[in-house]
Amino acid sequence: MSRSERLLDLLQLLRRHRRPVGGAALAQELGISLRTLYRDIATLQAQGAGIDGAPGLGYVLREGFTLPPLMFSVEEVEALVLGSRWVMERGDARLGLAARDALAKIAAVLPPPLRRELDDSALLAGPGAPLAGSELLGALRDAIRQERRLDLDYRDAEGRASVRTVWPFALGYFDQVQVLVAWCELRGAIRHFRTDRIAALSARAERYPRRRQALLRAWREQEGVGEP
């Protein structure tokens, strides 16, 4: 592995960690000595990489620092293509169009060899069944991003109707169904709502009182789900 490749791998590794990670752990994952790691960190910092930290304290890549897309590896390009194709086949219309546009933007900045890998990728996503309630998914994503209260007309598994005011903070995509994760004011707890059982929804103007990230952390702790 060349030094430039090793430096890129170090940046990619730091991008996967949202909290400071120790130098020993970084060195072990990269298969290099701690001394080499410190030298590589200093080189990247001198070149303008937004790395904060120091020996003994750990390192973190400052929020907002991005790598040029032409640095994608072949397997990263394949992952992007397959993921985008899955969304185009199984997502709602808005999300499918966004995935198609994203691939076009990535293709526009890739060097020719990687552009050919993207265009000729043999990784395919099979067709998915039509999504029940897919017309609501765009509105749900908007409410999650804006942290807006939602009023839902909802029917449970037994067909019982109820009106719920919820604080939406996550949307889970599965092969056959999508699930809204939200704080329910009626139950005073986090609840899961299948989108195909939402008869109607309306977004309120006011934001809900807690931050989406805090609700998501509470849900992960409740469900025993680790960080992505």
Give a yes or no: residue 92 inside a domain: yes
Give a yes or no: residue 16 inside a domain: yes
Give a yes or no: residue 96 inside a domain: yes
Range of the domain at 204: 134-223
Task: Write the pLDDT tens digit of every residue in 210-226.
Answer: 999 999 999 999 988 77
Stated pTM of the model: 0.68
Query: Does residue 103 share a domain with residue 183?
Result: no
Query: Does residue 164 share a domain with residue 99?
Result: no
Burial of 160 (0-12, 13-18, 19+ CB in 10 A): exposed
Give a yes or no: residue 124 inside a domain: no
Give a yes or no: residue 168 inside a domain: yes
Give a yes or no: residue 152 inside a domain: yes
pLDDT of 148: 96
Amino acid at 26: L
pLDDT of 106: 84
- Cβ atoms 64, 31 nearer than 8 A: no
pLDDT over threshold 60, residue 29: yes
Pick from 61, 90, 105: which residue ends a domain?
61
Give a yes or no: residue 126 inside a domain: no
203-212: buried (b, 16+ CB within 10 Å) or exposed (e) per residue? eeeeebeeeb
φ/ψ of 8, rounded to 5, equals -65, -40
CATH of the domain at 13: 1.10.10.10
Task: Write the pLDDT tens digit of every residue in 36-61.
Answer: 999 999 988 887 788 998 888 899 98
What total number of domains does the chain contain? 3
Over residues 185-199, mean pLDDT: 95
Give a yes or no: residue 129 inside a domain: no
